[in-house]
């Protein structure tokens, strides 16, 4: 049974790993010269640094199961982390009930309402499914009140979905708020050496089991019927019995023939892209892992300092700051030149953090990704694509199927497992989410700990 896997991000690598281990003749095609996709890295002074900030949560059962299976469990470092808010240029911690009570960006009564609303969402409202048909903004206004919505929630939704925020269902917010709720303290994890270490192990296992990985080999067309699929690869038409596609739909749309596309629901879903300024610094900036920035003199939606989780001594005692803007790939914000993006970041940090000094920046980089976050429409739960495209031998494991989970490595591993189960049958599928996962860490959640609202990052 010859199977092709399209895409060398975590979904494609997991799929190829599962297939190769089941004795399937598998070839993975990756368009670029690197594996890792959105979880990719670059070499810096002998270290491998993430292009886009990445951490694990202890609720990432599928990914943690895979990590344990690959023998990397002992390489996971966990750290307690916190989040902050900068609103109108003022800094607030946002982690405990006391933080919420002191959160000067809201009126006192609104703070109490926010705390109650958060408790309701995370403790009482156990079934979020009916929220699939309700837009997030109407639900959030109802639960938190308009002032809190406009002060906190709307900027967070804009940060993720931009001008398409009003389409997103409340169910997605409910899931995001409940995702990190595994205990009483926010905890994030990181595999020492980064995603690169996971990818290296997957490659090793795939090749050991006879699978092939072809880099710099974009698939340029795909068609399929009930007997198999044909791909155009390197100017050659190649037949496979099965194909696992992990490409975002915006990419799949460009290569799938009309007949195949017509069978894929939601294939025209919109995506938000992201532009990240990454600063390698000599000093720590903030005490928070993540700081959301709202209506302030820093033209970015947030600052993530991953070296609260990534150990600075493992990367030459550097600190890593990521300043992000989620936006459409055709927007001016996305296309703004690298030098202006970097200037905006450094000047803005100087305005908001009195101790920040430009000369502590050792290096600055800009990374863009055009298709990161599908913009979910209401009612997506019943409309989202299934693992197998009907009447074909194409199996999907793409971010467009993540809903209602957040897009993450954990979700992509699950989607790959689902696709392989659909292809090989449930009984032969590998169940990756080992119970070890839960034991790997403690907890997470800025939300319930008191502060009430949650990261949408
Ligand atoms: C800023 C940012 C922060 C994030 N933070 C986290 C985090 O903290 N934790 C977390 O778990 N997740 C995080 N994520 C999300 C996570 O990175 C993604 O959800 C995940 O990497 C998606 O993996 P994937 O394999 O499904 O898709 P992708 O990584 O997009 O992989 C698709 C692959 O297909 C390849 N491809 C495209 N076209 C073709 C073609 N024609 N032929 C062959 N190959 C092709 C691409 O080059 C790519 O390698 C973050 C993402 C971003 C952008």
The pLDDT tens digits of the residues spanning 292-308 come to: 999 999 999 999 999 99
| Residue ranges lining ligand 1, Cβ < 6 Å | 6-12, 29-32, 37-39, 52-55, 218-219, 246-248, 251, 255, 274, 276, 324, 369, 372, 399, 407-410, 412
Q: Label residues 317-328 b or e (16+ Cβ within 10 Å = b).
A: ebbbbbbbbbbb
Mean pLDDT calculated for residue range 424-434: 54
Instruction: Convert the pLDDT of each residue in 224-268 to its tens digit.
Output: 999 999 999 989 999 999 999 999 999 999 999 999 999 999 999
Q: What pLDDT is stored for residue 252 in this prediction?
A: 97
Q: What pLDDT is stored for residue 436 in this prediction?
A: 34
How remote is the CA of residue 231 from the centroid of ligand 1, in Å? 22
Pocket test for ligand 1, best of 62, 247, 410 (most atoms within 8 A of CB): 247
Q: What pLDDT is stored for residue 163 in this prediction?
A: 85
Q: What pLDDT is stored for residue 440 in this prediction?
A: 31
Beta strands in 282-438 (DSSP E): 290-294, 302-305, 319-327, 361-374, 394-396
**Residue whose CA is at the smallest distance from ligand 1 atom 2:** 52
The ligand 1 atom at the shortest distance from the C-alpha of residue 407 is: 19
Q: What pLDDT is stored for residue 180 in this prediction?
A: 54
**Residue whose CA is at the smallest distance from ligand 1 atom 7:** 54
Q: What pLDDT is stored for residue 178 in this prediction?
A: 83
Q: Which fold has domain 2-54+194-268+377-424?
A: FAD/NAD(P)-binding domain (3.50.50)
CATH of 270-374, one of 3.30.70.270, 3.40.718.10, 3.90.660.20, 3.30.460.20: 3.90.660.20
How remote is the CA of residue 277 from the centroid of ligand 1, in Å? 18
Which strands sit side by side in the sheet containing 212-214, from one edge to the other? Answer: 212-214, 25-29, 2-6, 242-245, 394-396
pLDDT band at 448 (very low <50, low <70, confident <90, very high): very low
**Residue whose CA is at the smallest distance from ligand 1 atom 16:** 408
pLDDT band at 445 (very low <50, low <70, confident <90, very high): very low
Give Cβ neighbours of residue 329 (< 8 Å, ≥ 6 apart).
271, 273, 368, 370, 371
Q: What pLDDT is stored for residue 451 in this prediction?
A: 38
CATH of 83-179, one of 1.10.20, 1.10.3110, 3.40.1350, 3.40.50: 1.10.3110
Q: What pLDDT is stored for residue 159 in this prediction?
A: 85
Instruction: Look at 76 and 440; give whichever has higher pLDDT.
Output: 76
Residue 457 token pair: 């990052």
pLDDT band at 160 (very low <50, low <70, confident <90, very high): confident
Q: What pLDDT is stored for residue 181 in this prediction?
A: 53
Q: Do domains 2-54+194-268+377-424 and 83-179 have the same CATH topology?
A: no
Q: What pLDDT is stored for residue 126 in this prediction?
A: 87
How remote is the CA of residue 282 from the centroid of ligand 1, in Å? 29
pLDDT band at 70 (very low <50, low <70, confident <90, very high): very high
- Dist. CA 88–CA 353, nearest whole Å: 13
What are the boundaries of each domain within the chain?
A: 2-54+194-268+377-424, 83-179, 270-374
98 CB-side CA count, 13 A: 0
Is 443's pLDDT higher than 50? no
Average pLDDT taken over every residue of the chain: 91
Instruction: Convert the pLDDT of each residue in 327-383 to its tens digit.
Output: 999 999 999 999 999 999 999 999 999 999 999 999 999 999 999 999 999 999 999
How remote is the CA of residue 57 from the centroid of ligand 1, in Å? 17
Residue 184, SS3 per DSSP: coil
């Amino acid at each position: 049974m010859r199977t092709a896997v399209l895409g060398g991000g975590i979904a494609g690598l997991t799929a190829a790993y599962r297939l190769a281990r089941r004795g399937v003749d598998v070839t993975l095609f990756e368009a670029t010269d690197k594996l890792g996709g959105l979880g990719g890295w670059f070499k810096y002074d002998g270290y491998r640094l993430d292009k886009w900030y990445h951490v694990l949560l202890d609720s990432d059962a599928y990914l943690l199961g895979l990590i344990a299976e690959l023998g990397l469990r002992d390489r996971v470092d966990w750290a307690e982390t916190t989040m902050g808010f900068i609103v109108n240029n003022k800094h607030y911690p946002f982690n405990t009930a006391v933080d919420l009570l002191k959160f000067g960006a809201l009126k006192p009564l609104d703070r109490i309402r926010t705390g109650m609303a958060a408790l309701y969402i995370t403790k009482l409202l156990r079934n979020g499914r009916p929220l699939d048909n309700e837009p997030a903004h109407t639900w959030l206004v109802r639960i938190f009140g308009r002032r809190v919505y406009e002060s906190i929630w709307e900027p967070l939704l804009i940060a993720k979905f931009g001008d398409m925020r009003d389409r997103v269902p409340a169910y997605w917010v409910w899931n995001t708020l409940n995702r990190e709720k595994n205990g009483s303290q926010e905890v994030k994890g990181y595999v020492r050496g980064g995603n690169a270490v996971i990818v290296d192990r997957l490659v090793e296992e795939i090749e050991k089991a006879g699978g092939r990985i072809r880099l710099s080999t974009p698939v340029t067309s795909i068609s399929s019927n009930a007997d198999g699929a044909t791909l155009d690869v390197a100017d050659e038409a190649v037949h496979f019995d099965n194909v696992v596609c992990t490409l975002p739909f915006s990419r799949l749309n460009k290569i799938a023939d009309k007949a195949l596309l017509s069978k894929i629901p939601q294939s025209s879903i919109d995506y938000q892209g992201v532009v990240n300024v990454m600063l390698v610094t000599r000093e720590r900036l903030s005490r928070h892992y993540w700081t959301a920035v709202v209506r302030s003199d820093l033209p970015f939606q947030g600052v993530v300092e991953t070296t609260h989780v990534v150990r600075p001594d493992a990367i030459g005692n550097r600190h890593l700051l990521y300043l992000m803007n989620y936006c459409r790939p055709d927007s001016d914000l996305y296309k703004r030149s690298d030098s202006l993006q970097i200037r905006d970041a450094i000047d803005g940090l100087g305005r908001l953090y009195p101790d920040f000094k430009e000369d502590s920046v050792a290096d600055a980089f800009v990374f863009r990704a055009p298709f990161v976050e599908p913009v979910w429409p209401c009612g997506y739960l019943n409309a989202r694509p299934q693992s197998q495209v009907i009447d074909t031998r194409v199996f999907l494991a793409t971010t467009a199927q993540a809903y209602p989970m957040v897009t993450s490595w954990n979700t992509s591993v699950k989607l790959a497992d689902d696709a392989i189960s659909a292809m090989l049958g449930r009984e032969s599928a590998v169940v990756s989410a080992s119970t070890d996962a839960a034991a790997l860490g403690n907890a997470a959640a800025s939300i319930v700990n008191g502060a009430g609202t949650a990261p949408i990052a």
